[in-house]
Structure 1
Amino acid sequence: MERSLSKLTLNKAKSQISFTIDHLVISKVVGKFNTFGGYIETCGDLCVDYAELDIDSESLETGNSVRDRNLRGKNYFNCKKYPEILCTVRNVKLKNYFTNTVEVNVKIKDIEKTLKFDLFLLSYSLKNISVRVIGKINTGDFNLKWQSPFIPSAVIGSEARVEAYLTFEKTS
């Protein structure tokens, strides 16, 4: 029996992706990505057949233009060579409307890892799905290393905490 899929597209105006990372042990850098897109294919009640989130790495913003330029450069994200961060999810049956742990395939640069994220289902219908996703990324796993002759890498945290509010809507 063939499953009926319903495709919903990310509404960028109702979505955001942010991150925090420790800096100098006593403070945190807060940043966001401004450009991203995606879609989700559902296969029934609380069932996700496939979801994709494509983030423009060049759209990174932390509020400090010098730091942003360094993060976009060859020594960190290398946005010219790797313009996108890709996150995908396959075959997920959500357990409830509260906390669900989902495995997300994350590709940063040319490195892919499967990571566990907490997903909070905020709303779910045939025409609209809103979620909050929280997780952690070990920057070293993706060869994201702060390189500066003036600032040792130890002062920049190795764990980025990611939080996204995503709303997907039926477009036709």
Structure 2
Amino acid sequence: MSTTETNSNTPTTGDQPTLHSGTWVVEPAHSEVGFTVRHLGLSKVRGRFNSFTATAEISDPTTASSVQASIDMSSVDTNNPDRDGHLQSGDFFNAETSPQMTFVSTSVTDDTLAGDLTINGVTKPVELDLEFHGVTVDGYGMTRAGFSAEGQIKRSDFGIDFNMPVGMDGMLISDKVNISLEIQLVPSDAS
């Protein structure tokens, strides 16, 4: 996550924007917190959370940076209201008593983001593959930084073990959950 990398869309006149030290916050309209699970071992079901916040404290060197995020579990959206309601229930997220999923970083490198993920009151370490897409200034003069992160967790590690046997040896829903993040950050004093 080099602080000197820039996006090809960055204006070429004047100083090039960089991922400068300071506090950056997620810009939700251009960010996504998504996940994918297998259904019946056949197809992927995709979902996302529509309400989340995140703050990145960018330092020099960037390995001293940190990230904190909070996701509203009741904002789960799989494009199926009945399934979303079931996911919010005690069978899965228990959103009424554990309304937030949180992430607090423990280390940042050029290509990984590691931290403690808490779901349903259970905290486990996770590691995400991190990609920095650069920094640019949009048409309104707002400086933006772009990141992608991907990883995988086992939902059973967080006490989410609802399932049903299907057939001789299959299960309804996979234990493995793929996480996919597309994040734009803006300086906190500009949000």
TM-score, normalising length from structure 1?
Answer: 0.85
Instruction: Among all aligned residue pairs of Structure 1 and Structure 2, give the percentage whose two residues are the same amino acid.
Output: 22
Give the C-alpha shift of residue 48 in structure 1.
Answer: 4.6
Whole-angstrom distance in 2 between the partners of 1:123 and 1:20:
26
After superposition, what is the alpha-carbon deviation per residue over 1:59-107, rounded to whole angstroms, capped at 9, x for unaligned? Answer: 0011111111111001110000000000111342x33xxxx12212100
Q: Is structure 2 residue 189 aligned with structure 1 residue 160?
A: no
Q: Hey, what does 1:139 align to over in structure 2?
A: 155
Unmatched 5+ residue regions in structure 1? none
Aligned-pair distance for 1:34?
Answer: 0.3
**Using the alignment, how far apart are the partners of 1:135 and 1:35 within structure 2?**
20
Asked if 1:58 is matched to 2:74, the reply is: yes
Which residue of 2 is the match for residue 16 of structure 1?
32
Q: Which structure has more strand as a fraction of its residues? A: 1
In the alignment, the residues of structure 2 paired with residue 43 and residue 26 of structure 1 have an alpha-carbon distance, to the nearest angstrom, of 44
- Opposite residue 8 of structure 1, the aligned amino acid is W
| Alignment RMSD (CA, Å) | 2.2
Kept in 2, the 8 Å contact 1:56–1:84? The answer is yes
Q: Is the 8 A contact 1:35 1:55 kept in 2?
A: yes
TM-score by length of 2: 0.77
Q: How does 1:22-171 map to 2 (within 5 A)?
A: 22-92=38-108, 94-95=109-110, 100-124=111-135, 127-147=143-163, 154-171=171-188
Total equivalences in the alignment: 162
Taking the aligned partners of 1:129 and 1:48, their CA distance within structure 2 comes to: 18
**How big is the shift at 1:38?**
1.1
5+ unaligned residues in a row in structure 2: which ranges?
Answer: 1-19, 137-142
Q: Which amino acid counterpart does residue 176 of structure 2 have in structure 1?
A: E
Q: Which amino acid aligns with 1:102?
A: L
Which letter does structure 2 place at the counterpart of 1:104?
A: G
User: Is the radius of gyration larger for structure 1 or structure 2?
Assistant: 2
